[in-house]
Amino acid sequence: MPAITVDGLTKSYGQTLALDDLSFEVGDGEVFGFLGPNGAGKSTTINVLLDFVRPTAGRVEVLGLDAQTHSREIRARTGVLPEGYRTYDRLTARQHLEFAIDSKGVDADPERLLERVGIADAIDKKAGGYSKGMAQRLMLAMALVGEPDLLILDEPSTGLDPNGAREMREIVREENERGATVFFSSHIMEQVESVCDRVGILRDGEMVAVDSVAGLRESVSDGTVLRVTVDRLDDEAIRSVRSLPDVSEATVENEAPPTLVIRVDGSKTDVLSALERQGLEVRDFSTSEASLDDVFRSYTTEVNAR
Amino acid sequence: MSAETVDRGTSAPSSSINPESVGAVAKKDFQDAVRSWLFWGLSVFFFTLLVATTGAVAYFGEDLAAQGATTDVLVGFVSEITRLIIPLIALVLGWKAIAGERESGSIKILLSLPHSRKDVLLGKLIGRSAVLSLSLTLGFALAAVVVAVLMGGFDVADYVGLLGVSIVYGIAYTSIAVALSSLTRSTTIAGAAMFGVFVLFYVVWNSLSTAFRLLADREVLFFDTVSYTTEFQGQEVTVERLPEWAYFVINLDPGEAYGRVLTLVTDVDTIQLQSELDAQMFGGELPFFLQDWFALLILVFWTVVPVAVALYRFDRVDL
C-alpha cells in the first residue's frame, strides 16, 4: 500500500490554478523528494495532504486513508514540519514538545528529542528568542514526537546553515531506517539527491518528472549541456533547435545576456548552425556534462523568449 | 487499519470533537496567554478598579456604611463599570485567537497535530475564557482584602455573586470574539469585527429603547404603544408602554442580561437597567421572557450560538 496517493488533484483559488490534475504515489518506506521552484504548488499539495485546504477536484489518500475524512487519524500517525509557521513566542521548547506529546497522546522525552536536533541546551528558553534555524530544529523535534509512520517536511532546510542541513538529512536517514516514509519538499536539488530514493519535479502545478535520482541522472548521463550566448531570444529559433533529432531539451537560462541551455547527444555544430540559420548571432558557447541541477533547471524553467 | 496503529480517539471522523484534544489546545492557549502582559495588565486593572471604587464608597459614603448598605453600593458601582469593561477586555483577548494564528501561520503547528478544527476552536474558547476568569478572580480576590479592611466587613455572597455573573458575562463575549476571529484570516478584519460588536451593543442597542419610543410616539408601523394603568401618588393614571416584543429585543443585549442576572443573584437594588420593567406594566405579571431568570438564558444564548456558527463554518474553509 502506498504511503501517499494523489490522484487527479486540482486546486484553484478563484481564477488561479495552483494544482492541475496532479497525480503521483509515494511508496511505503520510501524517501521521496518533492522538488520544484517556489510557487510551483508544493505547499499547496502538502496543505491538501494535511487537510489545511480542500481540493477542487481529485482524490488524496495518506497511509491508505482519505485525507479529508480521516485527517485526524492521518495526523496522529504523521510528523509534520510545516512551512510558513510561527512558533509560540511565549512558550519554551519544552512546552512546545509537551504540547505535541499531549496532543498525540504518546510518551516521549522532550529532552531526548531536543538532543537529537541539537538544541537541548535551549530547552527552557522561550521560542520567541530563537533564531530561524533553532525554530526549525524545534519544529523538526515536534515532528519526530511519537515515532510517526510518515514524516512530511516542507522545505526543512529553511533557515539552516549547511551543517544544520546535513544534520537534518542525517535525521531523515535515521527515521527512514526506523521504517518511516519521508516526504519532503525543497526548491534546491542538491538537498534531495543525497537522501531521496525518488524525486518528483513539480512545475506550475504539474508533475513534470518522477524518477529515482539515479534514473534522472541516467536520463542525462550521456548528454552534454551546451550553453550558448546569443544576441537575442527568439521563440522560432528555440523551436527549431528543439526539433533537431539529437536535442532533448532547450531552455532559456538567462535573458541578459540571452543564454540558452541545450541538452544534446550528438553534434554540437548542428545546434549552432541551426541557431544561425534562424538569424541569431552566436556570441559565446561552452559545454559541460549534465548535472542534476541542469536536469532540474531544464524541467522547471519556463521558455520565455521574445 | 490494524488496531495497534489507532491512537486514542483518533479513529473518530476528522470533524469530531475530542475532549482530550480540546483540553490539550486549551492548556497550551492558556499557558501562552497567561504569560502575556495583557493578562497581568487585566488583573492589575480589576484590582485597581475594585480598590478605587471601594475607596470612593468608603470615603464619600460614610452614611451608607451606617445603613449597612455598602456592599450594595459597591456591587452597584462596580457592576456599572464591569458591564462596560468586560466586553472590551473579552473582545481584546479573543480578537486574535484564531485569525492571529492563521495570519502568522502558527495554526499550522496546532493542526499538524491530531486536532480537529472544532477541537481548536473550543480549546481556544476555553483557554481564553480561563484567562479572563482567572484575571477577574485574581483582581476580585486581592481587592476583597482591601475592601474588607476599608469597609470593615462585607457581604461575601453578593461579592461572589458579582464575580460569578461577571465570569459568565465575560465568557459570552469571549465566545462572540473567538467565533468572529475564526471567520477571517486577517487580524485587521477581525479587529474591525470586534469594533462592530462594540458599536452594536454599546451604541445601537443602547439607543434602541429611545428609538422604539420615538417610533411608537409617531405610531410607525407596528410600534403601537400599549396602555396600562398604574398608581401614581395615590391616583390611578394611564401610561403608555412599548409592545412586549420591543422589550424582548432590548433585553437581548448581553449587558442588559448581565444586569438582570445580577439582580437575580445578588440582592442589590442599585443596579440600573436600560428597560425598567414592572409587573404592573403587563397587568400584574411579567411575560416569561422578561423575567430575570430568562436573562441567564440570554447569556447562555450569546455563549452557545456564536461558537456553534463558528464550529460549523470553520470546518469548511481553507486555512
Distances (CA, A) of A135 to A19, A150, B141, B251: 29, 21, 39, 50
Q: What is the ipTM of this complex?
A: 0.82
Residue range A172-229, pLDDT digits in tens? 999 999 999 999 998 887 777 788 999 998 888 888 888 888 777 766 555 677 888 8
- Do A34 and A118 lie in a common domain? yes
- Give the H or E element holding residue A62: strand A57-62
A184/A176 Cα distance (integer angstroms): 12
Range of the structural domain that residue B225 is part of = 210-295
Q: What is the CATH number of the domain that holds A247?
A: 3.30.70.100
Q: Are residues B64 and B95 in the same domain?
A: yes
Closest CA in chain B for residue A153: B112
Q: Which of A88, A82, A83, A86 is nearest to A127 (CA)?
A: A88
Q: What pLDDT is stored for residue A274 in this prediction?
A: 85
pLDDT score for B61: 64
Do B22 and B117 sit in the same domain of this protein?
A: yes
> Does pLDDT of B62 surpass 70?
no
Whether residue A305 is contained in a domain is answered as no
Nearest to B7 among A52, A64, A105 (CB): A105
Q: What share of residues in chain A are helix, strand, coil (percent, to 5)? A: 35, 30, 35
Question: Å from B123 to nearest chain A CA?
Answer: 12
Choose from B5, B14, B36 for mutation: most chain A CBs within 10 A. B14
Q: What's the total number of domains in chain A?
A: 2
Q: How far is A171 from chain B (nearest CA, A)?
A: 19
Higher per-residue confidence, A287 vs B87? B87
What DSSP designation does A11 have?
Answer: E
Q: Do A75 and B20 touch (CB under 8 A)?
A: no
Q: How far apart are CA A291 and CA B168, in angstroms?
A: 67
Q: What is the pLDDT of residues B115-151, one digit of tens each?
A: 999 999 999 999 999 999 998 898 888 888 877 777 7
Contact A76 B106 (CB under 8 A): no
- Which residues share a beta bridge with A252? A260
Contacts of A161 (CB under 8 A, 6+ apart): A133
Residue A306 lies in a domain: no
Domain containing A67: what range? 4-213
What grid cell was written down for A178? 526506523
Determine the Cα–Cα distance for residues B108 and B3; give it in Å rounded to an integer.
28
* Residues sharing a CB contact under 8 Å with residue A85, sequence separation 6 or more, in sequence order: A139, B105, B106, B108, B109
**Amino acid A44: pLDDT:** 93
Choose one of A213, A248, A264: the last residue of a domain.
Answer: A213
Residues B22 and B84 in one domain: yes
* A150 strand-pairing partners: A78, A181
- pLDDT (mean) for A104-125: 94
Please name the residue of chain B whose CA is at the shortest distance from the CA of residue A146: B7
Residue type, B157: A
The reply to whether A179 and A252 lie within a common domain is: no
Question: What confidence score (pLDDT) does residue A222 get?
Answer: 56
B7–A77: do the CB atoms touch at under 8 Å? yes
Of B1, B113, B318, the CB nearest to A53: B318
Of B1, B16, B105, the CB nearest to A86: B105
Q: Are B240 and B147 in contact (CB under 8 A)?
A: no
User: What value does the mean pLDDT take over residues B27-38?
Assistant: 88
Residue of B nearest to A50 (CA): B112
Q: Which residues on chain B place their C-beta less than 8 Å from a C-beta of chain A?
A: 1, 5-14, 16, 18, 20-21, 24-25, 27-28, 31-32, 35-36, 104-106, 108-109, 111-116, 316, 318-319
Q: Is residue B168 part of a domain?
A: yes
Nearest CA in chain A to B11: A73
A6: left (phi over 0), alpha (psi -120 to 50) or beta: beta
Tell whether B307 and B228 lie within a shared domain.
no
Residue A205 sits in the same domain as residue A256:
no
Asked if residue B6 is part of any domain, the answer here is no
Question: Nearest-5° angle of CA A59, CA A64, CA A67?
Answer: 45
Nearest Cβ partner for A105 among B20, B108, B316: B20
Residues A199 and A267 in one domain: no
pLDDT at B1 over 50: no
Domain of A59: which CATH number?
Answer: 3.40.50.300
pLDDT computed for residue B226 by the predictor: 74
- Same domain? For B288 and B307 the reply is no
Residues A124-159 as b/e (b if ≥16 CB within 10 A, e otherwise) read eebbeebeebbbbbbbbbbbbbbebbbbbbbbbbbb
**Same-domain status, B18 and B102:** yes
Q: For the purposes of burial, counting CB atoms within 10 Å of the CB of B227, is it exposed (0-12), middle (13-18) or buried (19 or more)?
A: exposed
Q: Kindly state whether residues A130 and A243 are assigned to the same domain.
A: no
Residues A149 and A198 occupy one common structural domain: yes
My answer on whether A169 and A287 are in the same domain is no
Q: Residues A175, A248: one domain?
A: no
C-alpha B90/C-alpha B25 separation (Å) is 19
Label the pairing between strands A224-230 and A206-212.
Answer: unpaired
Q: DSSP secondary structure string, A140-170?
A: HHHHHTT--SEEEEESTTTT--HHHHHHHHH
DSSP state string for chain B: --GGG--TTTTS-TTS--HHHHHHHHHHHHHHHHTSHHHHHHHHHHHHHHHHHHHHHHHH-HHHHHTT-HHHHHHHHHHHHHHHHHHHHHHHHHTTTTHHHHHHSTHHHHHHSS--HHHHHHHHHHHHHHHHHHHHHHHHHHHHHHHHHHHTS--HHHHHHHHHHHHHHHHHHHHHHHHHHTT-S-HHHHHHHHHHHHHIIIIIHHHHHHHHHHHHHTT-TT---EEEEEEETTEEEEEEE--HHHHHHHHTSHHHHHHHHHHHHS-------SS---GGGGTTS--GGGSHHHHHHHHHHHHHHHHHHHHHHHTTS--
Using 50, 70 and 90 to split pLDDT, how confident is the model at B7? very low
**In a shared domain, residues A103 and A141:** yes
Which of A192, A213, A234 is the last residue in one of the domains?
A: A213
Question: With b meaning 16 or more CB within 10 Å and e meaning fewer, what string describes A98-109?
Answer: bbbbbbbbeebe
